[in-house]
Amino acid sequence: MNSSNWQQNQLATPGTIREVGARDGLQNEKVIVPTEMKIALIKRFIDAGITAIEVTSFMSPRAVPQLADAGEVLEGLGDPGPGVVLSALVGNAKGVRRALDTKQPALRELAVVVSASEEHNRANLNRSVEESLRGLEEICRLAADRFKVRGTVSTAFGCPYQKEIKPEEVFRVIEAMLAAGIVEITLGDTAGMGEPGQVGKLIMGVREQFPGVSLALHLHDTRGRGLQNARAGIEAGVTIMESSVGGLGGCPFIPGASGNVATGELVRMMHQMGIDTGVDLDRLQECQLFLRSVLDKKTV
């Protein structure tokens, strides 16, 4: 499918970029970034034209100390402007209750993660895949009156513990997510092990197995194939791409897993494909420079 066909067969706004740098990008950083700096970074994302932002996590502060200030970040953002959708990661019902306590009306989505890999799910969430799937219904029930719930299938394209991930293992998680009430599925290449042909094939398989499902793609660049995989996903019909400014991020439970696909590189490629993302690359560069100054490190 070429880029024009992709836009004609959209399930979401053409070229939707979901920026995950404030959550996935920062969660691995050892130095705690001050709350006011996180707020300033997110506001810069909005100024650059990004309207879908995963801003924080309501996981246990002990497990993810970098994001212990989730409530303060959300309330400190004030009114982010029309059309901006903020989201946060939750791991269980307790996380949903924390999200419900926030007063930020632009927080409209919660994201949950279940791995297709049994070993990775235990390392990441300290429970089996089956235990995680059983908890989805309660999460969706608690969130129903206020939040849309998205679901990410992590290690969908490979796992360093389990190696090959079969499509049936991905389908099993998706089926349970949809049954629980989740309305959008993200396929996550958490370890960056995917290849373009594999990415396209799995997406087409998901479309065949679950017609009409809204799909997003979350890619890491561990083996330098992130942009190739992104192009393959777009050509297979994915309309929502997740990325991190400066290529920041990675999975703390996968040794050697590098950061996410860099937002600037992804946006540039999509523009070259004739896909309008609504993102201003010059202002996005300002986000990257700001982030570099905050972290005192080089970003992509």
Domain spans in the chain, listed from the N-terminal domain onward: 3-295
pLDDT in the model for residue 297 = 67
pLDDT in the model for residue 28 = 82
Tokens of 207: 């479309």
Burial of 284 per CB tally in 10 Å (0-12, 13-18, 19+): buried
pLDDT in the model for residue 162 = 83
Residue 240 pairs in a beta bridge with 16, 216
pLDDT in the model for residue 1 = 37
Enumerate residue ranges in the chain where pLDDT < 70. 1-14, 250-258, 297-300
Of 140, 159, 251, 287, which is the active-site residue?
Answer: 251
| CA 34 – CA 60 distance, rounded (Å) | 18
pLDDT in the model for residue 9 = 37
Q: Tens digit of pLDDT for each residue in 131-177? A: 999 999 999 999 999 999 999 999 999 988 888 999 999 999 999 99
- CATH top class, domain 3-295: alpha beta
Active site (annotated) includes residue 251: yes
pLDDT in the model for residue 8 = 36
Beta strands in the chain (DSSP E): 16-19, 52-57, 85-89, 107-115, 148-154, 184-189, 215-219, 240-243
